[in-house]
Structure 1
Amino acid sequence: MMSIAKKRCCVIGAGAAGLCALKYALEYGMEAVAYDKCNEIGGTWVYTEQAVDGCDAAEEVHSSMYDGLRTNLPKEVMDFPDFKFPANMRESYILASDVLKYFQAYAKHFNLMPYIQLQREVMRVRPINDKWEVLTLDLKSNNYITESFDYIFICNGRYTTPSYPKTEGIELYKGHKMHSHVFRKAEAFKDATVLMVGAGRSGMDITHHIYPYAKRVYLSHHLQQKPPVTDFMPNVVQKPLVERYTEDGAIFKDGTQACCTHIIFCTGYNLTIPFLSADCNLQVHDNFVYPLYKHCINIYHPTMCFIGLPIYAYPIQLFDMQMRFIMQYYSGKLQLPSTEDMLADTVCDLAERRERGLPRRKSHVVGERQFDYYDELVALTGIDNIRPVIKKLAPKCSGKFLYDLQNYRKTAFKVIDDENFVQFKLGEV
């Protein structure tokens, strides 16, 4: 393996992406440090207690984890290729706390902790004389510190700034309203009438958590052709999108209306990277960072890269693939295309997305095409592709939260080798 002797590297974030970036930077011989504003590693997998009321102040909370959360992907597609989950874990859909323990074990196994500085918030990143000036705030001492680096790995995640629909009348509503980002405990909704806005992963899972406590749950969504299965939750009523809000509830697109004591917005997040200076020559708007080569390398300043921007992918596989791809260039093994060629490639990718009807906001969506994206990275650099068994598991994982919410976590998988897996029901011998 080639080394990058004495090159200084700053990793922003110590969640899963940051740990992966740090691990590879160290393996390639970089002098690396990772900064995270929290007091422990793990990023979005860190559970922090948070009251459900007073949501405006509560949105400062770092993590979206809630009590009792289990993964909606099996652990068999959530591990790094060089570090597995414990072999004695039979369940595939595991508790968030077990995922956090896995990342803690990963950091220990690869001796990453000495290179991580917690409670250090990155305030500004800007290019100066072919280097990167990084200004951080030490949250313990309240001191500002300026340092210089050769490379920047941005791994700060994309699930910290809640997004709300711009729907008429929300300012009129007098009940409790909150974003799923600050949802913590289902029992807080005992005897409540709840309007759940959105039927994505969080919307469906939180509905599943609170229906035993709530008096009634209205599940508002746009899935008309194939609505989610909620029959097993007798007090859940599906509704179309909200037309407008009233003082005590909402009027829906079909003209029906409902009163509710609580509204929970499960409406996603806005991508924010507040520490980037204008000199970085990047546009960050509407969940899109432009221009990036292959969704990760800053075309105008290619010593800056982003890990984990593509969404609806298997995150751990994505982080690992992107880092191995990037390090082929940063190590000097391969040379990046010219600025013009990288821009042309990015423009071509955007044009193809527009032809498929994807708006700007979905410019980093990969979804079912994540495997095509991995194939691209492999073809360009010759790195190993993800294990074929991961792709074979994909049809067993997708959409289960919508159509088999009651039962899908009772299924477990066991990977036999890089090509094969077996599937079984928990409780079977």
Structure 2
Amino acid sequence: MTTLSAEREIEHLMSLHPKGFDLSLDRVTRLLERLGNPQDKLPPVIHIAGTNGKGSCAAFSRALLEAAGYRVHVHTSPHLVNWHERYRLGAEGGGRLVDDKVFAETIARVAEANGGETITVFEILTAVGFLLFAEHPADAVILEVGLGGRFDATNVIKRPAVSVIMPVSLDHEAYLGDRVELIAAEKAGIIKRGCPVVVGAQEFEAAQLVLIETAERLRAPLTVYGQDFLAFAENGRMVYQDSDGLMDLSPPRLPGRHQFANAAAAIAAVKAAGFDISERDADKAMTNVSWPGRMQKLTQGRLMELAPRGAEIWLDGGHNPGAGTVIAEALAEQEEKNPRPLFMISGMINTKDQSGYFSAFKGLTRHVYTVPVSMSDSGVPNDELAARAAEAGLSAEPVSSVANALMLLRDTWDEREAPPRILIGGSLYLAGAVLAENGTPPI
């Protein structure tokens, strides 16, 4: 896919408008009015917020709806390799990433409507998504929040078919607050009066209480994980249970026990939004679901060729302590099934709790190679990151790149040992760079 046209449009916007977030709905509302309010002309919207798991919930929701034959538009962020990944347009037989020409033309239209006024690039690109989705027919829209909820540019949807709040934990404290209840209050901003709400599995009771109280205050029909629905493993299967009964399903294709809860939230959300999903549809979705850069097993590509023979490589963009915990649990499950020594290749940015992320892997990983994050201006220098890993009790050393870490591991590997299991992660920027260098971008 040629990306030059859309990339040029976005690079031009980046040169005109401030980077980052400026939490307010005034600018995007003004722009959308000039475009004829496309956000009010969408098919039913599944609006998803949360600190962790919202991307997985979006992926499961898409898989469920497509398995049932629905055409589904999907907006997610950030992208890993190409900006086009943020916009999947619904089609018979499964959605496709937006065509470059259509994408570039839509960006130009939205930028012209903005007329050079102050706005963030994320707000312009959110308006681009609404325009694309309004102008192409579909049966549903899956809309992932960018940051927070209350003041996120996606939160101009007046009557979502369902609002979903996935697990809430500490992240983006500079914008959202330094206590989980404050962050939960920001996420709860997507709840609309009288519109259905699904609350996914919450690690913190304080967060769950805020979400429930907000829904009750707004008289929003409420469905809560562990109270109204749940999922559990039984005889190698996933059982989903709610007031309608049980579904006996294949285990999710996405690895990790936490994906049972994410899949369950998606099933509850799709049902709350009014879509009919059969057990057969749900089973098909569990085996078809795909979410690049999140516990993604690399099976081919240029970087694979640099690793020790027989190595198992996992890629995950999770970057906060909550994500570290679920990734470590998923790798511990892999260790139980197939024991291998675990190594990490990690890069992170300076707005994240690096020691908190690494602490989840204490006692699980043998050694960490820390690398620069070349695709972000906020990358932590690899020597500083090695110090943060050491503070968390891990053996760590800085190296210059992922490729060099893999080659160093290969050149020093004792082949009398089982081939290593390698986790590359700590940043979505790093995950994107790895997929690009490996020659396996999302499609």
TM-score range, shorter chain: under 0.3
TM-score by length of 1: 0.27
Larger Rg: 1
Q: Which has the higher strand share?
A: 1
User: Larger helix proportion, structure 1 or 2?
Assistant: 2
